[in-house]
Every structure is written in structure tokens, then in C-alpha cells.
Chain A
Amino acid sequence: MGISKLLVANRGEIAARVLRTARVKGIKTAVLRHSSEQEGPAHLIADEVVTIEGSTPVAAYLDIAQIVGAAQRIGADAVHPGYGFLSENAAFVAALEQAGITFVGPTSGVIDLMGDKIRARAFVEERGFLVAPSAIEDDDPATFVERARAVGYPLLIKPSAGGGGKGMRIVREDSTLESEIETARREGERYFGDGRLFVERYIERPRHIEVQVMGDGQGNVVHFWERECSIQRRFQKIIEETPSPALSAEQRNEICETAAGIARAVNYRGAGTVEFIYARDGSFYFLEMNTRLQVEHPVTEMVTGFDLVAEQLRIAAGEGLSATQADIAQNGHSIELRICAEDATHDFRPAIGDILLLDEPRGEGVRVDSGILDGGKVTTDFDPMLSKLIVHGPDRAEAIARARRAVQNYVVLGVTTNTGYLDAILAHPDFASGDVSTGFLAEQAEVLTAPGEDVSDLLMAVAALSDERLVADVLQIPEMHRKMGGWRN
């Protein structure tokens, strides 16, 4: 059945990344662009750019009817959703199916099941996989608070329709339980249009380990090993790596086989990720399954040598998997850093601005999946992630060294980014030894945002000497006046 023309229903770095593989495979390509949006790398790669409209740019990227209509109009026979936006929206998949267009991803039924955290948990638990102690509001709303209390503290409140850390709250004391439930409900309603909640035991100092799986929808499922994603701020990952420094070979096999088993249980089609909470005693619990390509998929590509987007396109075209489990090995070590427009020293406040100078690192073992161009504008219309820096090295120490060199040479001027903060994480001895948990960034906040050497005078000299008006004024002033000066102390 093949794919002759692919519409990428996304933007930024992931659109560019998907388009690159589609081009290599000889597929004609198209990508979306909101009428107010700046030109990005994806628009330069695609054969065709389709303008979409909407009250806000995000609303346009979520407009199912408009995007399906665009795919039909340009004669696309397949749509790749990237991540975020409509990538896990069962109604979008159903609308594409109706229009006779291939969705590069799982069936709408699987998305429906795994997208609802509560149903997904129940499904996984019924099949004998471990989940953390929990209370589900829907089971009996009247007793929800009581049952939440029984889960024990600390506990974690999550919106059942949630994702990406939105609306999640840790509660440590009974006195704040009810007010936190109300806040989480409000946030759930606003972000997901769904205020239903569930509560689960919060595992102290856990790791977040996930497994990349891929299925052909014909009963064949393979895994591409794990990714360690414990470095998170506000429940959002900013550094990911593989292999995980925490796992022994035996544990690695166990967790990866568990993930493949869960994917097999739903006869999974396409790329997916099974996320686990990994406790310090080595036990692990199913967290959720993401039925799409993940932001951090490149680290898996770097160590396995597989192009996961190429695999997705093969499966969507009915060509099946290109490899069996025995063909998929981990070679060396890979780390991904998410370059975000934000101020790490002020609570990760999103930053906006014009990109006045952009010079991205290159070199052996360095890959940059970028969503920005020199001269572009960073606005609050979209997520603050600008690009991803991915490195590969023969071992973890060399990968960290390469990541540090590369992030130090990542020049983005005109908008505040987290490059210095990412470098501080890489330089931390606990990161080097691999002794981290999802609480690491919060615990080490002071160390990680400590000011470096005071170079204020050098910076002021640069700012003064590059200030053309100031320099011109200084050079025109006659000697006599200069001596009299305006300097007051």
C-alpha cells in the first residue's frame, strides 16, 4: 500500500526531523504552518507548506476538521502527527480513517485505551503487571477523598486525562489534601477539558525509566531498550539518556520485556513508549504508555542505529518491522539535552525574544534536532523547547564530556535559554555517578543555579565597546571635555 505523500501535522524540531526521514525514503512531503507563525527549519525541508488558520496558533494545530481537509486537498495519503497536538487524539485518527488517509501510529482503539490513564492502569494490572497503590475518583466519587487518604502520604494527584506533568500535585500532609485536589481539578478542566482525577502513592526519590517499543499490528512487537528520564523540572524531562546507569543487565531485560509484553497485550501498531517508576529497591511500576514517538527518541536511535521514524513509516505502509529483537543492540551511550527558552534561575520562567545570533554545535557524535532559525522569534504561542542536542560516545563518561563541550558551544543570543543550567547539571558529581532521581533538580536547585565566576566587568566592557552610539559619542568628544568628564562617584 506504500506512502506516496506524507503530511506532517506538527511543527518545530519534530516536524523537521520527520520530514528528513520521509525525504530520504523518497516520499513527497508537506507540513503545516499557522498564518502568524515564523518560518522554521521544517518549512525549508518540506516540498509543500500548508497554511492553517485558527484563533490561536495552538488551536489551529488542534483543528481536526481543518487538518484532515488540508490532507485531502493536497492529496496526502498519510499523516504523521509528531508528538503533542493531535498525536494521541483518537477522534483525529478516526477522522483520518474515515477519509481513507493512513495515520502513522496506532489504531484509535489503542489510543483511547492508553490515553485514559485510569483504563490503561486497570488494563495493565489485570494482565499481571505491577502498578503503584492508587485511588480512582470515578470508581466512587463520594468516597474519593477518603480513599485518597488511605493510599498514604506522600501521594501524587493526577488528572486522568493528563500528560506532560500538567495539573500534577504532590501532597505530603493531610491538611492540604482537599485544597490540592481542587487545584488539580481546575487545572485538569482547563488543560484537558476533564476534571476527573486519580491519586497514587508517590514513590520517594524514584527514577523514571521508559522503554521504546514498536509493533507491526500483526502480533509482532520488539523493544529498542530503555531510556533514563529522571532529570525533570516541573515533571517535565530535560535530560534523557540511554542506557540507564541504574540497571543491571538482568533488570534491563526484565523491564524491557515487561514493556514489550504490555505492547503485545494490545497488539500494538507503530512506535510507543511504556513508562515506569523505578524505586530505589529495584522494584518498578507501570506508569503510563505514550502511543506516539517521544521527544527523546533520538538517544535510542543513536545507540541502536535504527531510524525510528523510518520504522514508523514502514509499519504504516504495511511493510512490517525491519528487525527482530536479536538485531537490536545498544552500542555506546547517548544523552539528549532539551534546549528551552526559559530562565532556570527564576523558576524556569519562559523567555521570549528575537534570535539575534544562532550557531549550533557540530562535530563527531553530535546531533542537533533544531526547530529554530537565525533571525527567528521566540513567542509564548508554543512550548518553550527550541531544539534538542543529542550526543553519542563510546561510554557514558565520554558522552557526558561531549555533551558538555557541545552545550557550551551552543550559541543562542537574544533570548534566555537553559544551556548554562544544562551544563551545570552535567557537571554535577551526582549526575556523573548516575545517582539521581526525579527530585534531583529540585534538591540541587541551589548548586545548579549558583552564579559562576563574577565576570561583570568583562561583560560591561563588551556591552560598552559594542554600543555603537556610545563609542561614536566617546570618540567625537574633544580631549579637554573628556578630562573634565561626567563621571561622578
Chain B
Amino acid sequence: MNLYQQLRHERARHITRRHFLKDSSLALGAVWLGTQHGFGAGLKKDPAAPLAPDIPHFAPKAKRVIYLHMAGSPSQLELFDHKPELTKNDGKDCPAEFLEGKQFAFIQGVPKMLGSQFPFHQAGKSGQWISDRLPHFERVIDEVCFIKSMWSDQFNHGPAQLLLHTGSQTPGSPSAGAWATYGLGSENQNLPGFIVLTSGGKNPDAGKSVWGSGFLPSVYQGVQCRSQGDPVLFLGNPDGISTALRRRTLDALNDINQRVATEIGDPETLTRIAQYEMAFRMQIHASDAFQIDREPAHVHQAYGTRPGHESFSNNCLLARRLAERGVRFIQLFDWGWDSHGTDDSTDLRKGFVDKCRQIDQPIAALLEDLKQRGLLDETLVIWSGEFGRTPMRENRGGMEMRNVGRDHSPSAYTLWMAGGGVKPGFSYGETDPIGYEAVRDKVSAHDFHATLLTLLGFDHKRFTYPFSGLEQRLSNVTKPSRVVTDVIA
């Protein structure tokens, strides 16, 4: 059975089960059907089961997504984009033509060129270039498909993060995770379909809009989970209320609410019933999913995890546990990659090295773990920042800084994908000889979204939602977009 057939099967099973459970809901069913041809931002899904698994347009390559976002944007020039020409020009004044008409967040006057701070070599059977900062990751490099020609038109974090995750640089559009959950539902009705985990002590600059549902119904927004206490706020039953008693109260509550639904006929009441049921299931299943201390010692060793602390490695292990449980979209934000060189923590030779160390082992472990469990084929793992960093050394205030850093550079950055139907051991696109601008096979956020949706089984131009008088889509209605077929296996 291929993935497509499997999804069809699951959907059929779900619908049967739902009808079986809700034999009294004939009239309510009619209410739902009615809404399907309503106008405005009407519901397109059964409001009582908005996350029921659904089938895309064609057989998907990937069933779910794990997105590892390095918030602040790591330097492509210190990791994956090998530029010997830049190293040769290290310390020279930046030529005027690179500065004309450019906007920088902090660079002023004439900065100096800055060669990569770390040596590069070729790794794996595929012989892909990589610096010496990610020794564990090298083990899995043959699984990885690099896109080195990503580009953005936003040079501040917030707008750039929004563009990459929602297709629009301003808040208000649904995130890719919301679109995926809207289109595919979730394989697990006991957990949110779209889960967000953060590390590095901060949320992303653009805030919660990065995983928002925009104009899609809010049930598709990412749910941010915590690594200490209840993973989801108020998940645990209050003192003195057991799970059995909670179940009992919810039965009575459903009874009351069903009466309200019949009497008042507001579809939102049906949604509320479904949400309370989901809350109850989450109480049981989310707690279980988040208990990483149940993993054996060798797994902790592989990921470098320490239960009870907020860390990127814990989140990687959680991502695998959530993927196993059928969560559709899992998004990790790790803060601390904004290597301006204003202090040690943002120095490419200091803070950046620590950040690399923090992600190297868990990412390698995640890919190996997924592969070993047979999940990598159907799970698309994506890694990126929101833009790249300048080949020039940052000179904040026009002065030479004590620490070494790079400013924001939207014109080129590296994104990689693994598993889920992408070409393993492959590299796509090129930047110019100093890694400043993508020059060959450029990929915009919109192209990336078109490709992502293709991997998930959607014709990105037909996967739409009516809003503001337009059939809106993730790949942006007003900007050009193309599917990067070359990266699809």
C-alpha cells in the first residue's frame, strides 16, 4: 500500500468511526454539509472533526514534516557554502559594487571581506562540501539534499521568518504547517496536528505569527509546547480530579452541549464538543509523548539529551516521538544564530561554535533514528535559517569590532532537506564566488513552498482557500513560484 492508499484508507476508517459514534447527529451532519457551500471564510471541513485525516491531490512523497529552524540565521559561509575565493580576499576592503544599492541592518561605510572562519572538506560518498563544525552531521550527509541558492527579499528577522514560513513578510497569512494540517488533517486525533517546540531561551523574532493559522481556521495553528512542567499549559488535571472523573464530567458536558447544538444550531458548538474531546485525549497522549525520560539510555546518548531541560537536543528527540505518533507538522525553533559579532555569544569563532555543537549531534541522531525506524522515507526533515549572512565582516557603527561577525544577507542562504522524497546526497543551486548572491537555479520562499506542497501530494496552485476576494495559496498568488522538480527523488 503506498502512502496515498494508506491515507485514503485511514480517512475512510475515520469517517466510518465518526458516523458510528455519532448516530444521533443526523441533523448536525446536515448543518455541516450546509456550511460547505456557504460564503465568506466558511468552514471547508467537518467542524466536529477538523483534523480528520484527509487526502491530497496525488500520492505524496512525504507524510509529515519536521522543520528545524535556526532562528537568527546561521552563516552559510561557515557551514555549507564553500567559497575559496572569499578566503583569498579575506581582510580586503569590500569593493564598491557589492555595496551599491544594498541595504544592511548594521554594516556601515566600507566593510572588510571576511573569509570562512573554518576549513571545508568533501564528505560522504556524495562528496558534498562541509566545514569542520558538524562532524556528527557528516555521517548522514548522504541522506541530505542541499539547496544553496535560497534567497529572500527581507533583511530583518521578523519579516524574513514570516516570508519563509507563511509566504508573506507581514503577519496574517497561514504558516506552511497550518496549510499542511488544513490539507492533510492529522494522523493522530489525540495530539495537536501541528506542534512547535522552541529552544535557545527565546521565541522567534516574528513571534507566534510564524506558526499562526492566518486566515485559516485557528484550529490549524501551531501549538507551542513547553519543555518544563506541563508540556502544554494546564494539560494536567487539577488536584483532586482523576482522569476517570474528568471523563465522567466531559460526558455530562457533551450531553449539555449536544442539547445546545440541537437547540441553537450554531456550528461552533459542534466544534467546541470536538475541542473538549481533543483536550481530553491530549491530556493522556501528550503527557506520554512528552516524557522523553522513557527513552532508553542509548537513545539519550545518541541525541545527547538531558530530560527536564529546555534544549534543542531534547526537542529533536521529542520531534521523533511526535513523528512516530503521527503529528503532521513539527516545527523546532532554536534561537541564538544571529552572529553579528557584537559580543562573544554572537562571535563566529565563539558563540557560533557552541551553537554548532548544540545541534550537530542531535540532528545526526534524529536522521539516523528516523531511518532506523523506517520513518525517514515518509518524513521530510528541513533545516534552514531565514536568510544568509554577508561575506563582509560586520562593522557596526562603521568601526572595526572586537568580535568577528557577519551582518544579515538576504540574497543567498542554504536550506537542506532529508527523507520524505527528496534526492539524497544531492546539491542544488549555486551562489556567486563569494557566496553573496544566489546566481544559478535560484529558489525563492514561494518556490520552496510549491516544492514542499508537491512533496506532500498537493498541486500547489489548486490547494487554495478563499480569503479577501482571492483564492489564496501558500505559494503566494501574486508572486511567481515553481516546483523545484530537480530536488524531488
Asked if A pairs with B, the answer is no
